[in-house]
Amino acid sequence: MKTKILVMILMLAAFLLAGCDNDDDVLVVDFSPAAPQGIYSVTGDNAVYLYWNGPYENDIVRYILWRSFDPITNYTELGVVDAVPNPDLDLLIYEYIDGTAQNGITYYYAVSSVDASGQVSDLSAENVFDTPRPEGIVGLYDFAVEPDSSGFNFALHRRVSFDSEIADVYVDWVNGTFYVNAANSGTDLQDVGFTESFDEIGWAPQGGWSENGWLEVILGHTYVIWTSDLHYAKMWVVDINQTSVNFVWAYQTDEDNPELKPVATAVEKPVHGPDYLVKDLSSPESK
């Protein structure tokens, strides 16, 4: 960008110093368009949703999407999106869905602008990457009512018994309240609070895990899970009835990748005390 500005200044200065008369040719300079800005992604199931702002120029005709397995080089063309006419230079937001992305693989993305003269901008400056992961909907039952349908294994995407050795979490009902529980001492839970949508939580936190290993189930809340085999998952509560809780869930198949966050530094599992997962099901204090 700095090089472009310098070239523009030098050309303009040369034009002004030379002057012109009726016999001179008029120098026309057509600079390449600005790159899109505000690029970001939303993680999907075998898909990545890309969004960006169109530059404030009225001669942009299309945008080229680029993808790579490397953050710096080896970008190849992924697709094209036609630009919306923008004579008033409004802020326009565009979307592209990469439906060829595969779960568990990290991709890097960029976008460039193309103007009516066919000139292509630089690639967008943002470092945008994403790792798709599977997702789904599941209903889990109070373990005292339907024990075989109270637990969930994220890797297998299916319900299991609350006491199964492969269960990651399970739900129970105590004194009129549902709880989501870690099914083993190696699994960690965190309530990240109310969220407007399932996609609102895109990254697993590094701290703040439950010291008990169980959390009250609240409608509209999202819970992040860190499984004993070092995978991250999340569950969003969409319905609670007298016997079960319905969750939308997502599971990151890429080990120790908290994108639900690129693997930057290793995060150590919390050390739990002897009372982890201990809950007196008959006592009001368990609430």
Residue 51: predicted pLDDT: 97
- The residue segments making up the domain with residue 42 are 2-16+23-130
Q: What is the pLDDT of residue 3?
A: 35
Residue 234's pLDDT is what?
97
Residues 228-282: pLDDT tens digits? Answer: 999 999 999 999 998 999 999 999 999 888 887 444 445 678 888 888 888 875 5
- 8 closest CA partner among 34, 38, 29, 37: 29
Residue 152 to residue 161: CA distance in whole angstroms = 8
CA separation for the pair 154, 197 (Å, rounded): 20
Burial code (b: 16+ CB inside 10 Å, e: under 16) for 260-283 equals: bbeeeeebeeeebeeebeebeeee
Domain total in the chain:
2
281 and 144 inside one domain: yes
155 in the same domain as 124: no
151 with 112, same domain? Answer: no
pLDDT for residue 286: 45
- Please check whether residues 274 and 181 belong to one and the same domain: yes
Q: What is the pLDDT, as a whole number, of residue 273?
A: 82
Q: Are residues 77 and 206 in the same domain?
A: no
The answer on 158 and 95 residing in a single domain is: no
Name the nearest CA neighbour of 218 among 201, 238, 199: 238
- How many residues belong to the chain? 287
Q: Are residues 39 and 122 in the same domain?
A: yes
Summarize the confidence of residues 73-100 as an average pLDDT: 96
Sign of CA dihedral 155, 156, 157, 158: negative
pTM, two decimals, is: 0.77
pLDDT of residue 209 exceeding 90: yes
Q: What's the rounded mean pLDDT across residues 81-85?
A: 96
Mean pLDDT of 156-169: 97
Other beta carbons less than 10 A from residue 104's beta carbon:
15
Are 170 and 273 within one domain?
Answer: yes
Q: Which two tokens stand for residue 15?
A: 């034009």
Last residue of a domain, one of 80, 107, 130: 130
Boundary of a domain, candidates 130, 149, 167: 130
CA distance 280 to 287: 9
pLDDT given at position 9? 39
164 and 191 assigned to the same domain: yes
Residues 143, 278 share a domain: yes
User: For position 278, what pLDDT does the model report?
Assistant: 84
Phi and psi angles of residue 204, each rounded to the nearest 5 degrees, phi first: -80, 140
Residue that terminates a domain, selected from 78, 109, 130: 130
- 19-65 pLDDT, tens digit each: 445 555 555 556 789 999 999 999 999 999 999 999 999 999 999 99
What SS3 string covers the chain?
CHHHHHHHHHHHHHHHHHCCCCCCCCCCCCCCCCCCEEEEEEECCCCEEEEEECCCCCCEEEEEEEEECCCCCCCEEEEEEECCCCCCCCCCEEEEEECCCCCCCCEEEEEEEEECCCCECCCCCCCEEECCCCEEEEEEECCCCCHHHCEEECCCCEEECCCCCCCCEEEEEECCEEEEEECCCCCEEEEEEECCCHHHCCECCCCCCCCCCEEECCCCEEEEEECCCCCEEEEEEEEECCCEEEEEEEECCCCCCCECCCCCCCCCCCCCCCCCCCCCCCCHHHC
Mean pLDDT for 200-215 is 92
Higher pLDDT, 213 or 283: 213
**b/e sequence 47-72, b meaning 16+ C-beta within 10 Å:** bbbbbbbbbeeeebeebbbbbbeeee
**CATH code for position 95:** 2.60.40.10
Residues 65 and 143 placed together within one structural domain of the fold: no
Do 66 and 197 share a domain, yes or no?
A: no
